[in-house]
Amino acid sequence: MSLDKNGIAKRIAQELRDGYYVNLGIGIPTLVANFIPEGMEVILQSENGLLGIGPFPSPDEMDPDLINAGKQTVTAIPGAAFFDSASSFGMIRGGHIDLTVLGAFEVSEKGDIASWKVPGKLIKGMGGAMDLVAAAKNIIVAMQHTDKEGNSKLLKECTLPLTGVNCVKRIVTDLAVIDVVEGGFKLIERAPGVTVEEIKKATAGKLIVEGEVPEMQV
């Protein structure tokens, strides 16, 4: 059985470590915040100038001066800090953020990522995605293994305009956990009940399979 969005988020949450500063992108990555293991201290950064994102507010707590990078109202945890956009990206560019999780349209064997623009469709802009992928120490992509038409999103080369090159380290999809290594995509784990063959079929780039591939524990 392939994972749903919450399943993908739950698996990514296993990558978190105590004391990590983490930037979560819009979509599935945001859901990771719901699965931070009990007792683990993880501080979430929002690139519009907040370190220490808290839960969404109750209706009477909503503050127009307190939003996340997706422009949603949020709260700040005790111990949070606010700062300006240049400082925020200084924090990101300077390598002070341990992990970035973001979505993607395509990822290549070399760790290139395309996530911001589909030619012919409306162009909204890259926001902070190019800065994040160019600078974070560790980048995990959260996405479906294939698009709505069933085409693989794990390719030899990206076909869409790139967000960054040679930067993605790990990909967690509805079917598998995959690492970007020298020579291709290395299969690390399978989603529960999903076979290596099924993953191979859904992966257009080179899939490296070594020995028995364990099932994800989610």
Partner 1 sequence: MNKVVKDAYEAIRGIESGMTVMFGGFGLCGIPENCLKALAESSITNLICISNNAGIDNFGLGVLLRKHQMNKMIASYVGENKEFERQFLTGELEVELIPQGTLAERIRAGGAGIPAFFVPAGYGTEVQGEKEVRIFNGKPHIMELGLTADFAIVKAKYGDTMGNLIYNKTANNFNQPIATAGRITIAEVEELVPYGELEPNHIHTPGVYVQRIFQGKEYEKRIEFATTRS
Active site residues: 47
What's the CA gap between 176 and 189, in Å, rounded?
6
> How far apart, in Å, do the first and last CA atoms of the chain sit?
12
Stretch touching partner 1 by CB under 8 A, among 5-13, 42-50, 100-108, 176-184: 42-50
Stretch touching partner 1 by CB under 8 A, among 12-20, 118-126, 139-147, 194-202: 118-126
What's the CA gap between 155 and 214, in Å, rounded?
23
Does residue number 5 form part of the binding site for partner 1 (CB under 8 A)? no
Stretch touching partner 1 by CB under 8 A, among 6-14, 85-93, 148-156, 188-196: 85-93
Closest CA relative to residue 12, chosen from 138, 110, 135, 106: 138
Which H/E stretch holds residue 154? strand 154-155
Residue 22 or 66: the one with the smaller Cβ distance to partner 1 is 66
Does residue number 164 form part of the binding site for partner 1 (CB under 8 A)? yes
Residue of 17, 19, 40, 90 interacting with partner 1 (CB under 8 A): 90
Altogether, the residues listed in the chain come to a count of 218
Residue of 134, 208, 213, 218 interacting with partner 1 (CB under 8 A): 134
CB of 55 to partner 1, least distance (A): 5
Residue 120 or 150: the one with the smaller Cβ distance to partner 1 is 120
- Pairing between strand 106-108 and 113-114? antiparallel
Cβ neighbours of residue 146 closer than 8 Å, sequence gap 6 or more = 152, 153, 202
Does residue number 52 form part of the binding site for partner 1 (CB under 8 A)? no
Residue of 4, 41, 84, 147 interacting with partner 1 (CB under 8 A): 84
Residue of 151, 159, 166, 195 interacting with partner 1 (CB under 8 A): 166
Could you tell me if 15 and 170 are in contact, meaning their C-beta atoms sit under 8 angstroms apart?
yes
Burial class of residue 18, CB neighbours in 10 A (0-12, 13-18, 19+): exposed
Binding residues vs partner 1 (CB under 8 A): 46-50, 55-59, 62-68, 70-74, 76, 82-86, 88-90, 92-93, 112, 122-132, 134-135, 161-166
